[in-house]
Structure 1
């Protein structure tokens, strides 16, 4: 009987904790910081449909462009390593990464 009560209490506590956690997540779902964190997690775990442009750092000339499922590889300390469609690209060039479908705004000099 005592074991049944212990199991029942632990189930109730687990449910209460889950409801409390869900409430916190729902209350924070509109925050920009939470949205950014979710995007970072999606990028790290799944990858995002992105366009990567590699430029010469000296001349600014476009050297190569990649499109596909792109993830940054945080393990590299020298240069930058990207995983593009599962293939590793290591570079020390200047680069621009843009999510495909993201709004782009023109910058005007005044």
Structure 2
């Protein structure tokens, strides 16, 4: 019986090790990196800047900075969790992760 328990534990450890190896071998894959970013955004939040604009005039109305998560449960409008506080809006918005490099738009 003891030998069976040892083999079962070794099999579980081996399967876990194989799973970790597979996960680490896929870390360079863009799809896996995007999934990890989405999980981080959903569970922890990301350091972001949210700019709210008037949809009619395009005028900047308000800027929020902090730990931002999107609330996917909303049907009408959008609600954001900014530093743990809920902000509900039906304005147009731009969300950018802090540190994201912005490139100028080139027109011809």
TM range (shorter): over 0.9
Residue 54 (structure 1) aligns with? 52
- Take 2:16 and 2:87, find their aligned partners in 1: how far apart are those partners? 41
Unpaired runs of 5+ residues, structure 1, are none
Residue 31 (structure 2) aligns with? 33
- Take 2:74 and 2:54, find their aligned partners in 1: how far apart are those partners? 20
- Take 1:107 and 1:49, find their aligned partners in 2: how far apart are those partners? 24
Give, in angstroms, the shift of residue 63 of structure 1: 0.5
- Take 1:107 and 1:35, find their aligned partners in 2: how far apart are those partners? 26
Matched, 1:107 2:105: yes
The aligned length equals: 108
TM-score with structure 2 setting the length: 0.96
* 1:43 aligns with one of 30, 41, 45: 41
- Take 1:10 and 1:89, find their aligned partners in 2: how far apart are those partners? 51
**1:13-52 CA distances to partner (integer Å, 9 max, x unpaired)?**
1111111101111110100111111111111111111000
Matched, 1:65 2:63: yes
TM-score with structure 1 setting the length: 0.94
